[in-house]
Amino acid sequence: MKRLIYFAVLAAFMSGNVAAQDASVPIMLNYSTLKKKAEKSDEQIAHEKKGLKEKTWIKRGELFQDIDNLGLEQLQIGIDKNTLKIFYREPISVEQKEDNTEILKYETINYILEDGRLRGWTRNDPIHEKPLHEALRSYKKAIELEDADKEMKLQEKINDNLDELKLQFQRSGQNKYYLQEYHDALLAFESILEINEIPVYEGIIDTLMINYCGIVAREIGARQMRQGNEEEAERMYRKTIDYYDRLAELGDGGSSNYIQMTRDYYAIGDTIGAIENLKEGLVQYPDSSILVTLAAQAYYLMDKNEEGLEFIAERLEQKPECPAAYYWKGLLITNEDDVEEETIQQALALYDTSLMYDPANSNVWYQSGYVNYAVGANYFEQESYEENPDFRKELNDKGVDYYKRAIEKLEKTYDIAEDDMTLKKESLDLLKRIYYKLYGGEDERYIRTNERLQNL
């Protein structure tokens, strides 16, 4: 998960940083000077008159952007150690970690390198704990102090500052995510969305940042769940759902948004919410078989067979050639403690229909093979207790018939399962039992199956 967001942010940040360097050479900032300026700025915003001037707040915003840039003026994520040392000279000390992580320690900042390249940083005695948030607060205060008829002109004046601020928030969020400080990472990415709400941006939609917010909120939710903080975990998971729901409304991400939201609903135990979410997804993406599968699976796991069958009936009415619907109908009608053979036959017929529309689905081939095997094994077990020779023969014939059908399905499963080693192994294990039962341990089919199983 870390790499997913890390490299995406890295690419965006590097391109923006390169563009900035082309425009002008960054000035190397001085810690002591910035600290004194910050103290002076604190005095100015507290001043009776100066604190009411938008210029005071604009300068403060620029100052705190500089404070965030301290020690990062010349850097890009991924820069190598030697280049870093050219800009910032030799560190005071170097700490080498066992995981191939190296920390270059300077007076006010520590650079974290992996495999000799910059991946993140931490601050020593920071001038301000959240300089970028203070910068944003300052710009919003400046806009607030401006006359209503001049607000837009002021926003246009500081537009370049805000553009740079968004890049800095993105960089900060990426760093905090790398450091696993997920709450701070989320605040940074959410701040970009907040800036986009300023009228000068005309409600620009940044789907990448919305996605990042969803990813990080989910990370926080999962961590809170592991720590037993269920209330906070649910809050963060629902925040994640809100972000992905927003992406879905924007038409960004396709049906995968609904799949992600389903997992989030499951994480907090809201199966009903998951089902409703999947139904909404099917309205938007009626051809999605995986959404059908996830919804039917939810009904199946809750033992709500009748409701699940109603859902499947609606699906088949809309999409009569949906392979997933036939498969799950077969599972739902047999989701009982005691199932009549007639119902089992109906389920097998449904699996065959599913395979007719999707012959490459190895899971359905396996399910059909397994059911045939299970019914056949049941007949053989009954045979072992039956004393009447005629009944014994009848039971044996039925067992053999089901086993032979199972062979066809399971051999097909093995052939098309490709890299699914679990499915291949399960299929061979059942085939081994069937071949031994029907033909004995010396039979070529049994020996060949046993060899395939051992070679997996």
Q: What is the pLDDT of residues 428-455, one digit of tens each?
A: 999 999 999 999 999 999 999 999 999 9
Share of the chain above pLDDT 90, in %: 85
Q: pLDDT band at residue 149, thresholds of 50, 70 and 90?
A: confident
Domain finish residue from 252, 269, 285: 285
The rounded distance, in Å, linking the Cα atoms of 170 and 189 is: 6
Helices (H), 285-359: 289-301, 305-318, 323-333, 341-357
Length of the chain: 456
Nearest in space to 169 (alpha carbons), one of 224, 208, 220: 208
Lowest mean pLDDT among 24-38, 224-238, 428-442: 24-38
> Token pair 């490459």 is at which residue?
360
How many beta carbons lie within 10 A of that of residue 431, not counting itself?
A: 27
The rounded distance, in Å, linking the Cα atoms of 362 and 423 is: 8
For residues 115 and 121, the answer to whether their CB atoms sit within 8 Å is no
Strand, coil or helix: 103: strand
- 88, amino acid identity: Y
- 8, amino acid identity: A
Residue 150 lies in a domain: no
Domain finish residue from 256, 285, 314: 285
**Tokens at 4, concatenated:** 């997913």
Q: pLDDT band at residue 27, thresholds of 50, 70 and 90?
A: low
Residue 435 lies in a domain: yes
**Structural domain count, the chain:** 2
Domain that holds residue 438: 360-455
**Tokens at 115, concatenated:** 């495999």
Q: What is the mean pLDDT of residues 405-418?
A: 96
pLDDT digits (tens, 9 = 90+) for 62-105: 999 999 999 999 888 899 999 999 989 999 999 998 888 999 99
Q: Using CB atoms within 10 A of its CB, is residue 271 exposed (0-12), middle (13-18) or buried (19+)?
A: middle
Residue 226 lies in a domain: yes
Domain finish residue from 258, 285, 312: 285
Q: Output the domain CATH number for residue 264.
A: 1.25.40
For residues 30 and 59, the answer to whether their CB atoms sit within 8 Å is no
pLDDT of 317: 94
In which element (H, E) is residue 109 found? strand 109-114
| 419 to 369, 416, 427: CA distances (angstroms) | 19, 9, 13
Global pTM exceeds 0.85: no
